[in-house]
């Protein structure tokens, strides 16, 4: 149930006659441009495992910046091929929860537990919620662009 909080799942329809290997090569190059180290590559999928603390110097404007683990694979139906992906942002969630707890203590010191909860909720919604909402739009768009550029 709570799994959906830190996972972004999606799929894109693959048009054209590009082979599966060529598509996964494009995804691998996309991950490299996103500063995500590919941890596993097979004929059917590409995966990365890149904890947020591994490289603090990476640019923070990249589409996959908040995701610490992910998998891309191709599924075939009778009529179409789809690129499916599952991305995890558990480390970002934990970081944002920690920041929310700090805001709670600041609110508690400034007034009451209610003020602390309000500060914590606002901090969490701003830090994590805005990043996820942005990722919901940016990630599929960035993947589409990477597949078109080749």
pLDDT digits 0-9 by tens, 114-133: 989 999 999 999 999 999 99
What average pLDDT does this structure show over 92-105?
93
This prediction has a pTM of: 0.87
pLDDT tens digit sequence for 34-79: 989 899 999 889 999 988 777 767 777 889 999 999 999 999 888 8
Nearest CA to 62 out of 3, 123, 148, 141 is that of: 141
What does the block give as tokens for 57? 């110097």
Per DSSP, the chain holds a count of helices (H) and strands (E) of 5, 5
């Amino acid at each position: 149930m709570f799994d959906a909080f830190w996972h972004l799942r999606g799929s894109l329809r693959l048009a054209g006659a590009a082979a599966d290997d060529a598509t996964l090569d494009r995804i691998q190059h996309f991950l490299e441009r996103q500063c995500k180290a590919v941890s596993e590559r097979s004929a059917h999928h590409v995966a990365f495992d890149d904890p947020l603390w591994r490289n603090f110097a990476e640019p923070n404007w990249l589409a996959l910046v908040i995701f610490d683990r992910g998998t891309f694979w191709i599924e075939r139906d009778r009529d179409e091929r789809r690129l499916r992906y599952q991305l995890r942002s558990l480390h970002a969630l934990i970081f944002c929860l920690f920041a929310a707890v700090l805001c709670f203590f600041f609110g508690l010191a400034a007034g009451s537990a209610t003020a602390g909860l309000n500060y914590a909720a606002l901090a969490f919604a701003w830090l994590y919620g805005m990043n996820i909402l942005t990722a919901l739009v940016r990630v599929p768009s960035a993947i589409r662009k990477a597949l078109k550029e080749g």
